[in-house]
């Protein structure tokens, strides 16, 4: 039977621990989107609470952060406006909730 050196065991254990911590603490991707139309918006619309006068009669669109998912045809999909509902995955992480709009 071959014995492992203690330094090998410690370094291996530290690697697993580091991977677990970084995977569980990872934040999902975040983008600004219109909560009604799901249109992908510039980030400042979420930061400042809306744009200035737009070309459509002066209305403004306030964006909300959309977590996870992807953008297709200028619309967000596959994620959620609720950050807790988005699974970041990873080794040793427990996930609760589900994706969706």
Can you give the length of the chain in residues? 101
**Number of C-alpha atoms within 13 angstroms, CB side, residue 97?**
14
Give the pLDDT of the chain (101 residues) as one tens digit per residue: 666 666 655 556 666 555 555 556 677 889 999 999 999 999 899 987 655 545 555 456 689 999 999 999 999 999 999 988 887 665 556 554 444 54
CA–CA gap between residue 23 and residue 93 (Å, rounded): 8
Q: Are 75 and 38 in contact (CB under 8 A)?
A: yes
């Amino acid at each position: 039977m071959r014995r492992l050196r203690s330094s090998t065991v410690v370094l291996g254990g530290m690697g697993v621990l580091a991977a677990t911590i970084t995977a569980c603490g990872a934040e999902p991707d975040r983008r600004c989107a219109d909560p009604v139309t799901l249109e992908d918006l510039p980030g400042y619309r979420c930061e400042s609470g809306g744009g200035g006068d737009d070309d459509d009669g002066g209305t403004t669109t306030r964006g909300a952060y959309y977590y996870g998912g992807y953008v297709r045809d200028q619309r967000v999909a596959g994620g959620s406006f609720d950050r807790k509902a988005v699974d970041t995955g990873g080794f040793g992480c427990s996930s609760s909730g589900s994706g969706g709009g």
